[in-house]
Amino acid sequence: MTQNNNASSSQQQISSENLRKTISALKNDESFDYPETVIEAISTIVSAMHNSYQSEENAIADLSKTIIQTLQERPVADQYMQITRKALAQKPLIFQLLILMQDIVSRQWLDHSSRLIWLAIAQHTAALLIVSDRKTDTNNVLMQFKMAQFSASPRRTWLWDTLPGIAQTEINIERVLSVFDGILKQQKSALDLLNNKQSIHIEEKKVAKDNSDAKAKHKEKIKKAKSDAKAKLSQIEKITTAYQNAHVLQKPRPKRKKPPKNIKIKAINLADNTSTSPLDSTATSHNWNTTPSNDTWSRIRDDIEHSATAVDLAFLDPNTEIYEGLTTNFEEHIDHYEPPYVSYGEYPNPLIKNSIPLQTIDLSLQQNYMSQRNLALNSNTRLLSVAGYQALFAALNQDSSTLPESETHKTCAGILLLSMITGLPVKSLLISGYIGHPGIFNIESKRYYIRHSLGITKRSTSQTLAKKDYENNSDTIKVPLPVWLIDNLLDCELPEKKDITTYLATLRSSFGLPYLSINRIETALHVVLSRYTPNCHAHIADLICRTPAPHAPAMYYSSHTSEMIIAHYKSALSVFSSLSGFDLNYITPWHKYTVGSGFALKLETVRNIIDKFKVWADQSTNDDEHFNRTSILVWFIFCLLTGVRPNNGLGKMYNIDLDMGWLEINDKPVKKVKSDRLIPLCPTLIRHLIGYRNYLIDYQIKHQTKHDISATIDDIRLGNDEALLKLLSESTFILKDIKRGDAYHMTKEIIDANPYWTRHFVRTQLERHGVQLLLINTVIGHEKARQEVLGRFSSTSKANIKRVASAFEQIAEQLGLTDIKIDNYTLPNHVGIRLAEVDHANR
């Protein structure tokens, strides 16, 4: 269809009556109350302009007459005719244009009659764009013409010097578009000339013969000329694009197909631990679970996809502690998972079935050993090289956007390309109705994207905390999509598995990639994000690629801006597309919000809480109350400067090395599973723990008749199997370990939240301080299976872990913990917790 025919069809589709209704609907604008006369005037001018496009005789003369007569009736009251920047900015753009047009007629600027026509064209274009719901184009065309008329700057008024006068005969869309295109080409040529280094160099040589001052002025002149040229080009580009979108009939977007009745598709929630087969609603990520045997995807066994054993990584139900008044949320649940165990599904042949032990060793050592040390080695056969990914991407981009050997190959390439840039499993994309499903895809606006939810637990109502106290208030991640690719896939018949297999075989042969498979395409985005994208890592890859929650609990203990996530995603696609002409302009700045942990508090909020804890401890009315409050304060300091899971019996003395500054801890309730890790102790925490130990000894001396307490403190002093942090029992004759429930109930009036918030806070702060992801996972205990620092595959040195202590010390300074000193309770009115004097010798 030609542009001429498109334009005609567009005019026929939108009648003058429809435009009148559109203008009349402006009265419903809640942000501004349009006067009735203004609505009528705009409607009259727009309708006259609309009819002029379809009239063949005296169109311009009749249009000009209608516009002038309408404006001579002064539809805009004097109270609105204040033509200043501030006054105009308070009114809608289409109203502003009418004010400027009425001002021309009021001043009887007869030589500006041609401007009235162009301003009417702008208003009519805006009306068409309003019908099409193109807000950006609407604002662009109105703003550019408004500034040309309102501004006195040559960078704005140049438009009137360039736009030709319109003859008093007829007007048509093709002619107007031709005018805009001509000006656009002129401005591009002018800017190209200014950017031509050779011509500029010649001019500089001529000027250099005079003097250095003249050369500097010449450079400044060139710089200003370039700036002006860029501004003019931007203006005419916006006008031309808006006019094209208003008058050229847009191809209707294809409709999403309906899924089969036996398949239910719903929104992606990573907290949903159900099966990820395509026969349910959550087929969202690659190869985390075995494909069920009744799935048609698994019936084809003649390709590389089925050359390996089907393996599941499964988790046992975690054990968590229960406290009165506290509930175990999803985030705490996944934080207590033990390493997954390997289970086998249906076996491709009897030989593998009879050699499970050998297969287990092979899986652990040969395939996983190098990759689980976080080394990007090309010897890992599960991955492609960067050059392999780039060549594959270039081929998929070309085949999906052009016409290859067959339409089927084009569709297969599109499916694989979509999987490659999103990480969505191919078997899901081949389900009718999956692409474009509103629970996963947003394709209703100009910007297409897929979205998924982390499944963050909804915060319960707190008496002490407000929404503003938390780092994050969203758990949704949006990944932008190229509109052309989605439209093409919605507009075609989906291929079958055998078609994908045949197309892959062609790619393997042409590129010499024998390991190329669907799974390697599905995992490509995660691999490139975590290994080859600058300043990115596996944690960001997990967030973008929808890694299931049990495999990536760190997602629920972090905080990131949407802008940062999208920037990493765009950077990864830049790596992919380095050998192709893939257009990344569809990835534009995103609405800014933070996503991640639902329980990570802001730094200033935590500092206020610590200040309240200090006052609370200072206000103790007796020795025993002071002991318990001091213990709880130190318990929170311990949690905030280590990031440990705040479970029972924290900090056994034989696991704390105050001289070397180390803590070895296994903070999960089940101690049978060996999951110890090392945490470096910062100077401030060491000082507080030594101070608290001395506090216990002082209490022991003052209460020598409490023999059980004295014996417990002796064990602590001697470094035996006893927790350092203690509370007095109700009888005050026994010391007991601090439980999380005790800490919560004793401080509920200060902070009404599960003390597990301390762990959320620490991990987000370590990221803010730029600690490497590997070290954060090591300290927090979020390593992937068999990557633990004390495990057999660890490549982390103690020296590297020790460096995290400096980050903890910075957190201590920001929270004001370096200023706290623990004093013994002596008098009823004595202040026990006070600000330490700045005495470096005592620290």
CA distance 298 to 478: 31
243 vs 683, higher pLDDT: 683
Name the CA radius of gyration of the chain, rounded.
Answer: 35
What does the pLDDT read at residue 208? 52
In this prediction, residues 348-368 reach a mean pLDDT of 44
- The answer to whether residues 392 and 503 touch, using CB atoms and an 8 Å cutoff, is no
pLDDT at 843 (0 to 100): 41
Selected residue with higher pLDDT from 757 and 460: 757
3-state secondary structure 223-237: HHHHHHHHHHHHHHH
pLDDT at position 795 over 80: no
User: Is the pLDDT assigned to residue 365 strictly greater than 90?
Assistant: no
Q: Which residues contact 778 (CB under 8 A, 6 or more apart)?
A: 677, 678, 788, 789, 796, 801
Residues 682 and 805: beta-carbon distance below 8 Å: yes
CB burial class (10 A; 0-12, 13-18, 19+) of residue 840? Answer: exposed
Range in 77-91, 435-449, 676-690 the model is least confident about: 435-449
Tell me if 34 sits within 8 A of 279, measured CB to CB.
no
CA distances from 318 to 14, 321, 330 (A): 62, 10, 11
Is the pLDDT at 108 greater than 50? The verdict is: yes
What six digits make up the tokens of 175? 């002619």
DSSP string across 529-577: IIIISTT--HHHHHHHTT--GGG-GGGGG-EEEHHHHHHHHHHHHHHHG
Q: What is the mean pLDDT of the chain?
A: 80
Residue 387 per-residue DSSP state: H
Q: Give residue-wise pLDDT tens across range 193-226.
A: 877 755 555 555 554 555 666 667 777 888 888 8
Smallest CA-to-CA distance from 673 within 526, 800, 785 is with 785
Query: What's the pLDDT score for residue 170?
Result: 61
What average pLDDT does range 444-459 have in this prediction? 86
Q: Is the pLDDT of residue 346 over 70?
A: no
Do 709 and 703 meet the contact criterion of CB atoms below 8 Å apart? Answer: yes
Q: Rounded to an integer, what distance in angstroms lies between the CA atom of residue 305 and that of residue 78?
A: 76
- Give the number of other CB atoms < 10 A from CB of residue 820: 24
Residue 833 scores a pLDDT above 60: no
Q: Residue 633 is encoded by which pair of tokens? A: 């304060």
Burial class (CB in 10 A: 0-12, 13-18, 19+), 746: middle
pLDDT tens readout for residues 289-301: 333 333 444 444 3
Inter-axis angle of helices 483-490 and 386-401, to 10 degrees?
A: 60
Residues 307-334: tens digit of each pLDDT: 444 455 566 677 787 887 788 888 887 8
The percentage of the chain sitting over the pLDDT mark of 90, rounded to a whole number, equals 35
Could you tell me which residue, 303 or 182, shows the higher pLDDT? 182
pLDDT at 695: 94
Euclidean distance between CA atoms 473 and 468, whole angstroms: 9
The candidate with the shortest Cα–Cα distance to 42, out of 78, 7, 9, 66, is 66
Question: Rounded distance, CA 297 to CA 278, Å?
Answer: 9
Amino acid code (one letter) for 430: L
CA atoms of 383 and 532, how far apart (whole Å):
12
Tokens of residue 17, six digits = 């009556």
pLDDT value at position 405?
A: 64
Identify the residue with better confidence: 529 or 173.
Answer: 529
Tell me the CA distances in angstroms from 466 to 14, 330, 615, 753, 758, one per residue in order. 50, 21, 21, 11, 17
Instruction: Identify whether the C-beta of residue 724 lies closer than 8 Å to the C-beta of residue 712.
Output: no
The pLDDT value given to residue 607 = 97
208 vs 525, higher pLDDT: 525
CA 352 to CA 309: how far, in whole Å?
Answer: 7
Does residue 355 carry a pLDDT above 70?
no
At 818, the pLDDT band (50, 70, 90 cuts) reads very high
**At a CB cut-off of 8 Å and minimum separation 6, what does 724 contact?**
651, 652, 653, 656, 689, 692, 693, 716
Task: Check residues 431 and 789 and name the one with the higher pLDDT.
Answer: 431
> What totals of helices (H) and strands (E) does the chain contain, helices first?
33, 15
β-strand partners of 470: 601
Phi, psi of 308 (to 5 degrees): -125, 160
Q: What does the H/E/C string look like for 626-676?
A: HHHHHHHHHHHHHHHCCCCCCCCCCCEHHHEECCCCEEEECCCCCCCCCCC
So what's the pLDDT on residue 209?
52
**Residue 755 above 90 pLDDT?**
yes
Give the type of residue at 797: S
Choice among 356-365, 381-390, 451-460, 606-615 with the minimum mean pLDDT: 356-365
- Rounded to two decimals, what is the model's pTM? 0.69
Given a contact cutoff of 8 angstroms between Cβ atoms, the answer to whether 680 and 641 are in contact is: no
Q: What angle do CA 690, 693, 699 make, to 5 degrees?
A: 145
The tokens describing 736, both together, are 């007991």
The 3-class secondary structure across 757-825, one letter per residue, is HHHHHHHHHHHHCCCCHHHHHHHHCCCCCCCCCCCCCCCCCHHHHHCHHHHHHHHHHHCCHHHEEECCC
Return d(Cα 668, Cα 34) in angstroms, integer.
65
pLDDT average, residue stretch 475-487: 91
Work out the burial of residue 798: count CB atoms within 10 Å of its CB; fewer than 13 is exposed, 13-18 middle, 19 or more buried. exposed
- pLDDT over 90 (residue 599): yes
Encode pLDDT of 645-681 as tens digits.
998 778 889 899 999 999 998 887 765 666 688 999 9
Pairing, β 476-481 against β 726-728: unpaired
Q: Enter the tokens of residue 796.
A: 């982390």
Distance of CA 728 to the CA centre of its chain: 47
> Minimal CA–CA distance to 762: which of 832, 709, 831, 814?
814
Q: Tens digits of per-residue pLDDT, 721-748?
A: 899 999 998 888 899 999 999 999 999 9
> Locate tokens 């075989």: which residue?
505
| pLDDT at 178 (0 to 100) | 87
**CA angle in degrees (0–180, nearest 5) for 479-481-482:** 160
> What distance in Å separates the CA atoms of residue 436 and residue 454, rounded to the nearest whole number?
20
* C-alpha to C-alpha distance for 77 and 35, rounded to whole angstroms: 9
Q: How confident is the model at residue 710 (pLDDT cuts 50, 70, 90)?
A: very high
- Residue from 689, 683, 687 nearest 802 by CA: 683
**pLDDT of 69 higher than 60:** yes
Average pLDDT over residues 470-497: 91
Angle 774-422-781 from CA coordinates, rounded to 5°: 20
Q: Please tell me which residue, 569 or 588, carries the higher pLDDT value.
A: 569
